[in-house]
Amino acid sequence: MNADNTMADRPDLCDLTADEIAPLERLFDPLTPDTWRDFARSHYLTLRTLFAGQQTDADLAGLAMQLTKGIATDLGGSQPYISVGSQLMASARSRQVIELCNKGKSYSEVARLVGKITEPRVRQIERAWRQEQRSLRQGKLDL
């Protein structure tokens, strides 16, 4: 399984229907903290993306709750900062943009194929990559 490609296909949480999220929601009791619910929903969506068709939604919901309880055990009582990881995600997305551009795809086609990216952003990524490649070829002057 290539997690980078699969995670690129991960839908947004708001894309889940009530029926799709129901197996997880049934595991919440009235005392389940909101933070736990948020983590569990995120875990559940990720697990559904990674293991689609390999596990039942009920099993994945159970795993999501176990992961959430693990976070509560390990980090409970603290308020950790959770980085978006935009550089990591952007680099994977940027690689995909450059690959498609190098295959001769149009900017609009690249934006459509990559998803959740605009045509101007595709141009920006390609421009930055070309500048970086030019700098690597030319080297730097000691002044």
Break the chain into its structural domains and give their ranges: 3-75, 86-138
d(CA 3, CA 143): 45
Is residue 139 over pLDDT 70?
A: no
Helix ranges restricted to H, the chain: 3-8, 18-25, 34-50, 57-75, 86-102, 107-114, 119-138
**pLDDT attached to residue 19:** 92
The Cα-based distances of 87 to 9, 11, 48, 119 in angstroms read 18, 19, 24, 19
All residues at 6 or more sequence positions from 98 whose CB lies less than 8 Å from its CB, including other chains: 125, 126, 129
Lowest mean pLDDT among 17-31, 97-111, 114-128: 114-128
- Structure confidence at residue 141 (pLDDT): 61
What's residue 2's pLDDT? 47
The mean pLDDT value of the chain amounts to 84
Residues 141 and 106: beta-carbon distance below 8 Å: no
Per-residue pLDDT reduced to its tens digit, 57-98: 999 999 999 999 999 999 888 887 776 656 655 688 888 998
Q: Is the pLDDT of residue 27 over 60?
A: yes
